[in-house]
Amino acid sequence: MLRPAMPGPRRGRPRARHDRALPADAVQPAVAPLLAVHRAAAPGADQRGLLRGYEVAERLHQGQLRKSGAPYITHPLAVTMILAGLGMDTTTLVAALLHDTVEDTPYTLGELRADFGEEVAVLVDGVTKLDGERWGERAEAETFRKIVLAAAADLRVLVIKLADRLHNLRTLGFQPEHKRARYAKASQELLVPFAERLGIHMLKREMDDLAFAARDPAAHLSAAAAVRTALRDAEPAFGPALARLRIALAEQRITGRVSIRPRHLYAVHQEREGDLDGLRPCDAARLLILVDGDERDCYIALGAVHAALHPIPGRVKDFIALPKFNLYQSLHTRVISPDGDLLDVIIRSRAMHPVAEYGIVAHIREAGTAAAGAVAGRRDLVWLSRLLAWQSDAPSAAFLDSLRADLAPGDVAVFTPSGEVVALPGGATALDLAYALGPETGDLCIGALVNGRLAALSTELRSGNVVEILTEPGGGPSEDWLGFAVTAPARVRIRRSLDRCRAEEAAAAGRRELLRALAARRVDLLAAEAHGDSLRIARALGHEEVDGMYAALATGSLALDDLLARFTGA
């Protein structure tokens, strides 16, 4: 636990300034690199707010130290540098400098709002963890739920959280070994998938590799050595293929850049399942073709690639016509090199490249500071809409497990008979699709037609499948559905429906028991319900509705004799 810093007297709010240039003597050496990076990305930005944010953060964190022994201010400064390197707007950078002040110092959210405005306060509040003493075991789950809800209004909350986690992973070596592994595991299960969902692959790759190093240091060292050895021969190994591709592209009058793109260590380790013996350059890198033209030129380039190098049937993935859930667009194909190696080739336009690397950050940068919040709150990210749809129904105990399932890697795009495209995680079944189409459709489904053929609800779906969900009025979920439901929306809704059915059955059983007991004493339960006596007794016992009281009787948490005494006045 950090000990709260005890700042000196609060400074009054500085008066607004209209000049944007900062005199050299006004800039502290520690913050000068941050201002330089931000100035390069946003030459016209007013940096006075950024400097004031640093001064307040440094004052509030004074006396606090990191596990490394470094002053605590080095952490928010490093997080802000990561975001400045991504080209984030000034408001986000100010919020990043202040992101731990409300959590770890006496500075309140109200004070922050008064000093820096509502927009900064919303971002800081979004990334502030809930009090563990107050929330207990629910704190972690409810903190993530809070982040999700804040991100629904402004995705910059998640971007700040990712930069915060990246720097903590960079400095994880100062933590005890048992904490390193646990922290890295949580990062790969929850934060890395969020980076992928936002399309910020620049952060995802580094977070993946740092978490990999913390969870399995030996495997990480082995992968690093194998990849380093393989890439040493990359130029000669890829040379013949590169030469053919450049000639083929030139023949089609397609201009652009063809380059070797190394893969990150964890991706190589995963694909080879840890067996890195004989790792070749084609296993450690892919070819990237950046086309100067538009989408049409990307498809022409794909034809040129297949003309120059023999394609592998069924290995073309078109993420231009059908973008990924994180707005990623590219063409992927696998071909055979002149030397007989399998090569992965990625094709995208230069306009697609920033989104492919930086995801939502590219959209925020493009919109500019004034519109950053609006862009960051965009709802065309299907995964976020899906997450918001089920999160409120998940209790704290199940929320994190459901979130991990919803963020699991892999994506499948299926079509409804009307042509609607529905994105689902890998391994999703027809039942998952039914719930993705709506909770009512899910509850009433009885089967599916997959590509025109009758299929069970447990059928695993593949990209490109055309699926029609069959429903029947009066149907409902069954316990065995939980055995093959993969997505969080489906599992949460099924559990909720089953719990509701059990509660209704318990209430009916309890009411029957009470009805018989009261009839033996010549007391009319129907009359008591009609006059409101049953509801009054239920609320006196702490139940909002009479069904809760009846269910408590059926489950044994309420004694029949006690309840009879209240109804008979005995």
Residue with tokens 């992973």: 169
pLDDT confidence bin for 384, thresholds 50/70/90: confident
3-state SS class at 234: helix
| Tokens describing residue 531 | 């006059």
- CA atoms of 375 and 224, how far apart (whole Å): 38
Q: Which CATH class is domain 24-200?
A: mainly alpha
* CATH 3.10.20.30 residue ranges for the chain: 382-494
Say whether pLDDT at 14 is over 50: no
Average pLDDT over residues 483-494: 89
Catalytic residues: 103-104
Helices (H), 272-358: 281-284, 295-308, 353-358
Query: What is the C-alpha to C-alpha distance for residues 318 and 464, in angstroms, rounded to an integer?
Result: 11
Q: At how many degrees (to 10) do helices 48-60 and 90-97 cross?
A: 10
Q: Which residue has the higher pLDDT, 182 or 131?
A: 182
Residue 445's closest CA among 468, 424, 475? 475
Taking CA atoms, 249 is separated from 9, 107, 238, 352, 505, in Å, by 67, 59, 16, 19, 69
CB 342 within 8 A of CB 334: yes
Return the top range by mean pLDDT from 42-56, 252-266, 385-399. Answer: 252-266
- Is residue 346 within 8 Å of 261, Cβ to Cβ? yes
CATH topology of domain 382-494: Ubiquitin-like (UB roll) (3.10.20)
- 511 contacts 485 by C-beta, under 8 angstroms: no
Q: Which fold has domain 224-358?
A: Beta Polymerase; domain 2 (3.30.460)
Exposed e or buried b for every residue in 69-88, given b needs 16+ CB within 10 A? Answer: eebbbbbbbbbbbbbbebbb
Of 300 and 476, the one with more pLDDT: 300
Residue pair 66/171 in contact (Cβ under 8 Å)? The answer is yes
Contacts of 266 (CB under 8 A, 6+ apart): 208, 209, 211, 212, 223
User: Quick check: 491 and 479 in contact, CB under 8 A?
Assistant: no
**Stretch(es) of the chain classified as CATH 1.10.3210.10:** 24-200
Burial of 301 (0-12, 13-18, 19+ CB in 10 A): buried
Residue 348 has pLDDT above 90, yes or no: yes
In this prediction, residue 399 carries a pLDDT of 80
Residue 328: C-alpha distances to residues 160, 318, 415, 518 (Å): 21, 11, 19, 66
Please provide the average confidence, as pLDDT, over all residues in the chain.
Answer: 86
Give the whole-angstrom CA distance, residue 438 versus residue 444.
Answer: 10
DSSP states of 262-283 as a string? EPPHHHHHHHTTT--TT--HHH
Residue 470 host element (H or E): strand 467-471
**pLDDT surpasses 80 at 380:** no
- Between 433 and 149, name the one with better pLDDT: 433
pTM score of the predicted model: 0.78
C-alpha distance from residue 119 to each of 90, 93, 113, 160, 351 (Å)? 11, 12, 8, 14, 30
Is 60 exceeded by the pLDDT of residue 120?
yes
pLDDT on residue 324: 83
Q: Residue 494's pLDDT band (boundaries 50, 70, 90)?
A: very high
What is the DSSP-derived secondary structure letter of residue 468? E
Q: Distance between the two ends of the chain, CA-based, in angstroms?
A: 56
pLDDT value at position 488? 84
> At what angle are helices 546-555 and 560-568 packed, to 10 degrees?
140
Residue 12 confidence class, pLDDT cut points 50, 70, 90: very low
